Structure 1
Amino acid sequence: MYKILQRIDEIKAMAIVRTDSIERACEIADGLIKGGVPIMEISFTLSNANDVIKALRERYKDTLLVGAGTVLDSETARLAILAGAQFIIAPNLSLDVAKTCNRYRIPYMPGCTSITEAITGLEAGASMIKAFPISNFYGPDLISVFKTPIPYMPILASGGVTLDEIPVWIKKGADCLGFGGLLTKGTSKDIAENAKAIRNKMDETMKEGRK
């Protein structure tokens, strides 16, 4: 678990992928790896997400981190983990999912709307809190709302983040950013270029922060 979280902390970005095509998932993965953002969340809004995760894990092994998204219950969490998912993300907090992830030593990132909900998630063993869905409405300022009283809370901000806004989100305290269209649309080459731009913006921001 530690190595997975360490890698997420280092890269600080992931692709939010919704595709039922293994071929397309591999095209996206190739672009992400070339661009320096080798982390994917495969959404369980699709019926064959398990097959996609399994295929990606078998093909890319340790070159790519593959997680499962939109995991609403413990049954789905277990299926995803057995398929090879290396982390679990959800739009909601489920104590049953937290127990399953803890049992298998898999990082869990539940969606939380309030400080109370987020603290409950951390107490249940969540590795990171997904600020959702209010991050879409309040933007980067939400990170400060969470981190002012609880500065040690690891936060994933997913949805609505643009390339130009990356420095704002990171400086506010976001530990990882999830990207949809920028890292999932177009050719493998397009995705690689966008991933590289995100990676460069992340590196520049972190460098500025150390000055």
Structure 2
Amino acid sequence: MNPVVQRVYEIGIIPVIAFNSVDEALPLCKALIAGGLPAAEVTFRTACAEECIKKIHEELPDMLLGAGTVLTTDQADRAMAAGASFIVSPGFDPNVTKHVFDKGGLMMPGTCSAGEMQQAMNLGCEAIKFFPAEANGGVAMLKNIGGALKTCKWMCTGGINAKNVNEYLAYDPIFAVGGTWMCKSDKIKAGAWDEITAMCREAVDTMLGLELGHIGINCADDAEAAKTAETIGNLLSMAVKPGNSSIFVGKKEFEIMKQPGRGTHGHIAILTNNVDRAIFHLGQRGIKFDMDSKKVKDGKTTAIYFADEIAGFALHLVQR
């Protein structure tokens, strides 16, 4: 996967911004970063877009920047020169798409039909924009054609919000979404940076969907494990289900280990909608991971342990 596409995938939600003035650029991007979304698609719908991209690129180099609503080769050139890492258009223009590739850039042309998507893929597009997503049938439409376009990766924009974001991201070929719900234009005009940070944090939390999966308890041997499982089962009126290396209690809320496992006292499993994105976003919050513990299936991370214990328990992320 292209490194920029990989980073877009890990971030998951790309705020789409139409700046009213250059003065908004840095404070808004700082608010996005503080909220966990270090990325922006800056649309060329306003006259200050190019200057905003340049200023952000120079002063916030870790911010992943794309240029949106790019309609011409001239706009594409200006956007890339200003520091945009990827170019996005509302529709599919083969000339603009080929021009960006010829200049060594990454192009995500807008498409809304299987024909446009096929043409874009044949031009070499690894990632394609599906726009406007909701108006063109949403996830259901992409699932209908996904079997035929097996290698296609979509970034969906248009009608995405906090209520449907996970419907889109749950379909693996959709590698990211774009939207404005966490940074509405009225909040930008009002300079409500703290509110935007809070809405970004909420959007990230919604996307990750972190919740307790189960608690693993280490025991010295089979006999201690059986006694522990029976005690918890009787206490909470839960079923006890023996396994090869552990005993599950209830609907797998508890895993009683027959031999000491990872963690001083045991382990805690945390479910998430996407382990790769959780690694990125929790890493932004200071969590370190034991990369050697990572488990991958079909190119997607399914589980990974934190580097450090908490209160004697090892923690690991598990794909829901």
Structure 1-normalised TM-score?
Answer: 0.91
Give CA deviations for 1:84-122 in whole Å, capped at 9, x if unaligned: 111100011111222222123221111111111101111
- State how 1:1-211 maps to structure 2 within 5 Å: 2-61=2-61, 63-173=62-172, 174-185=174-185, 186=187, 187-204=192-209, 205-207=273-275, 210-211=319-320
Kept after mapping to 1: 8 A contact 2:19/2:46: yes
RMSD of aligned alpha carbons:
2.0
Amino acid at match of 2:30: D
Find the aligned partners of 1:43 and 1:168 in 2 and give their Cα distance: 25
Give CA deviations for 1:131-186 in whole Å, capped at 9, x if unaligned: 11253342322231332322321101112112121221111342111111323442
Find the aligned partners of 2:163 and 2:152 in 1 and give their Cα distance: 24
More strand by share: 2
Find the aligned partners of 2:128 and 2:2 in 1 and give their Cα distance: 16
Give CA deviations for 1:17-76 in whole Å, capped at 9, x if unaligned: 011312212222111101111110111111221111101101101x20111111112121
Question: Aligned with 1:183: secondary structure?
Answer: coil
Question: Aligned with 1:175: secondary structure?
Answer: strand
> Percent identical across equivalent pairs?
24
Kept after mapping to 2: 8 A contact 1:159/1:180: no
Find the aligned partners of 1:83 and 1:52 in 2 and give their Cα distance: 9
Alignment CA distance shift 1:59-1:15 (3 Å): same
More helix by share: 1
Question: Aligned with 1:196: secondary structure?
Answer: helix
Aligned residues: 210
Alignment CA distance shift 1:162-1:103 (3 Å): same
Higher relative CO (Cα under 8 Å, sequence separation at least 6) belongs to 1
Kept after mapping to 2: 8 A contact 1:20/1:52: no
Find the aligned partners of 2:65 and 2:47 in 1 and give their Cα distance: 17
Larger Rg: 2
Amino acid at match of 1:29: C
Find the aligned partners of 1:144 and 1:20 in 2 and give their Cα distance: 37
Amino acid at match of 2:38: P
Find the aligned partners of 1:167 and 1:88 in 2 and give their Cα distance: 24
Find the aligned partners of 1:48 and 1:58 in 2 and give their Cα distance: 16
Unaligned ranges ≥5, structure 2: 210-272, 276-301, 303-317
Structure 1 consecutive aligned stretches of length 4 or more whose deviation exceeds 6 Å: none
Amino acid at match of 1:112: T
Amino acid at match of 1:196: R
Alignment CA distance shift 1:206-1:134 (3 Å): closer
Kept after mapping to 1: 8 A contact 2:162/2:181: no
Structure 2-normalised TM-score?
Answer: 0.61
Q: Which residue of 1 aligns with 2:257?
A: none
